[in-house]
Amino acid sequence: MTSRRRFLLQGLAGALPVLLHAGPAAGQQQPLAGQGAAGELRDPAAAGRPRDRATERDNDEYIKQVEHRLQCTCGCTLDIYTCRTTDFTCTFSPALHKEVLALHDEGKDADAIVAAFVEKYGEKVLMAPKPEGFNIAGYIVPGIAILLVGSVMAAIMVRRSRVMAVASAAGDPPVSGGSADEMERLRRELREFDE
């Protein structure tokens, strides 16, 4: 047997056991679909922070609405519900969610829960400032500004259109100083405006 053939046969003999026992591709894991079992992950840390099981109360519409009114204190600027169901690395929002549930268990309604949060974390915990005191300015200034500017604009327009109407009624010649060709051109161009 030539050394080349021996080399190939030895290589094949060495590879066979490996090929026969080949499991999933390196770094892959077979899911246990439909088995009802929950296989362990090869690298649990790579799948993020371990999660608690979701409960019915996590989906409670009333709790959601309360949490939408309160900001997470982690600095993300999201509300508690959105943060806890989005930023799965945040440790603040799950804790705040538990606080909301605890306050609800104490029999507090939405406004009382929100008030308790404001007392504990300050006004900054509200997603929108309460419409009272100086905060009212926050809500009404844009509307007032638009109304004010709109009113001034309307007043000016009405005054000017009245002046024009009076001038027309006084019988001023509508146009003067133009040749017949120029007037025809003007009429033609004005017609274009209306098209």
Partner 1 sequence: MTLLGQFSLWTALLVGLWGAVLGYSGRWHARPELGVAVTRAVYALFGVLVVASLSLWHGLITHDFNIEYVASYTSRNLPGYYIVSAFWAGQKGSLLFWAVMLSGFAALAQWLTPAKYRSLMPYVGAVTSSVVVFFVIVMLFAANPFARLPFTPPDGNGLNPQLQNIGMVIHPPMLYLGYISITIPFAFAVAALLARRVDAGWIQAIRKWTLMSWLFLSIGITLGMWWAYVELGWGGYWAWDPVENASLLPWLTMSAFLHSVMIQEKRGMLKRWNMTLIIGSFLLSVFGTFITRSGVIASVHSFTQSNVGYFFLAFLLAAGILSYTLLYTRWDRLEAEVQLESMVSREAAFLYNNLLLVGIAFSVLWGTLFPILSEAVRGTKISVGPPFFNKVNVPLGLLLLALTGIGPLIAWRKASIRNLQRQFVVPLSFGLVTLGALLLAGVTEPYPLVGFALAGFVTGTLGQEFWRGTSARHVMYQESYPVALARLVSRNRRRYGGYIVHLGALCYFVAFAGYAFKTEMEATLRPGDTASLRSPFGHTYTFTHVGVSQFEQLNRIVSQASVQVAKDGSPIGVLSSEKRQHFSEPTPGLRQKSFEPSTEVGIRTTLQEDLYIVYAGSVEGTEEAVYRFTINPLVVWVWIGGLVLVAGGLIAMWPGGAAGGTLRRGQAGYEVRLAGTASGVGA
Q: Is 58 in the site for partner 1 (CB under 8 A)?
A: yes
Contacts of 48 (CB under 8 A, 6+ apart): 88, 89
Please identify which residue in 12, 88, 106, 120 interacts with partner 1, judged by CB under 8 A: 88
CB of 110 to partner 1, least distance (A): 13
Q: Which amino acid is at 15?
A: A
The terminus-to-terminus CA distance of the chain in angstroms comes to: 97
Please identify which residue in 27, 105, 169, 180 interacts with partner 1, judged by CB under 8 A: 27
Tell me 38's DSSP state: -
118 burial level (CB within 10 Å; 0-12, 13-18, 19+): middle
Q: Is 194 in the site for partner 1 (CB under 8 A)?
A: yes
Q: Is 59 in the site for partner 1 (CB under 8 A)?
A: yes
Please identify which residue in 48, 105, 132, 179 interacts with partner 1, judged by CB under 8 A: 48
Q: Is 182 in the site for partner 1 (CB under 8 A)?
A: yes
CB of 15 to partner 1, least distance (A): 23
Q: Which is nearer to partner 1, 109 or 172 (CB)?
A: 172
Q: Is 44 in the site for partner 1 (CB under 8 A)?
A: yes
Q: Which of residues 103-162 bind partner 1 (CB under 8 A)?
A: 122-129, 133-135, 138-139, 141-143, 145-146, 149-150, 153-154, 157-158, 160-161
CB of 94 to partner 1, least distance (A): 11
CB of 8 to partner 1, least distance (A): 30
Structure token digits, residue 167: 């001038």
Residue positions counted in the chain: 195
- Residues 95, 103 contacting (CB under 8 angstroms): no
CB of 144 to partner 1, least distance (A): 11
Count of CA atoms in the C-beta half-sphere (13 A) of 147: 5
H/E stretch holding 118: helix 110-121
Show the 3-state SS of 145-161: HHHHHHHHHHHHHHHHH
CB of 75 to partner 1, least distance (A): 6
Question: In the block, which residue shows the tokens 């100086």?
Answer: 134
